[in-house]
Every structure is written in structure tokens, then in C-alpha cells.
Amino acid sequence: VKIDKERQLVVLDEEHEDISPDDLKEELPERQPRYPFSLNYKYQHDDGRVSYPLCFIFSSPAGCKMELQMMYAGSRQVLVKAAQLSKVFEIRATEDLTEDWLRERLGFFG
């Protein structure tokens, strides 16, 4: 999901089904923010339970234009609230988005 700067709208940029965090990072632009929040991830808890949390990930790479960073940061909470999301994460470098990175953050929620 991205923001159409000219129309000031949040729009679907691309849609991927059954994509891993490692594959998703290859799809993210290195110098533009994105909300790849449609990541429904299979997470195995330490006690053996399996859940499928919907993760909102805000990608705001270092080096992108300040105007874009502010636009995305300002819209983030509106999207989180509208979609009723509780698993919200931010990355500053696309290479940070890995399976291990996501598992570590989801572990915080138990």
C-alpha cells in the first residue's frame, strides 16, 4: 500500500499472496516509504500454538524524501485504527525485514 502524493490518497500498489518476509523485502522500494501491512503471517508460539496475525509494517527507509516520510508517518495511525490492527512495526532499512526479525517482534506479544 502506498500514498498517491498527487491525489492525497492511500492506494493499493501491489498485492502478493502467501509471501514470506524475506520475499516481501525484495518487493519494497529502497528509497520510498510503503505500508506492506497485508502480511498475514503464520507464527508458531513457544507453547506450540499457531496463530496468523495480520501485521502492519511501516517501511520508511533512511534517505527517502522528508516530505514522503512525513506524509506516511502522518497517515500511519489512521490506517492502523481503521483496520483495527495491533501488530504494528516499523523498519528503516528494507534489508531488516526478515523471517527472524518478524518472529522476534511477534514473540513480544506471547
Q: What is the CATH number of the domain that holds 94?
A: 3.40.20.10
The whole-angstrom separation of Cα 17 and Cα 39 is 9
The whole-angstrom separation of Cα 65 and Cα 6 is 15
Report pTM: 0.75
In the chain, % of residues over pLDDT 70: 95
Instruction: Using the structure block, give the residue that is written with the C-alpha cell 500500500.
Output: 1
**Residue-level pLDDT at 101:** 92
pLDDT at 109 over 80: no
Residue 35: which of 18, 54, 60, 17 has the closest Cα?
Answer: 60
Residue 43: which of 33, 55, 32 has the closest Cα?
Answer: 55
Lowest mean pLDDT among 29-38, 40-49, 53-62, 75-84: 29-38
Tens digits of residue pLDDT in 1-52: 888 888 888 888 888 777 888 888 888 888 888 887 656 788 888 899 998 8
Question: Which amino acid makes up residue 57?
Answer: I
Q: How many domains does the chain have?
A: 1
- Supply 86's cell numbers: 495491533
Give Cβ neighbours of residue 104 (< 8 Å, ≥ 6 apart).
none
pLDDT at 110 over 70: no
Q: Judge contact between 91 and 58, C-beta under 8 A.
A: yes
Residue ranges making up the domain that contains 96: 2-107
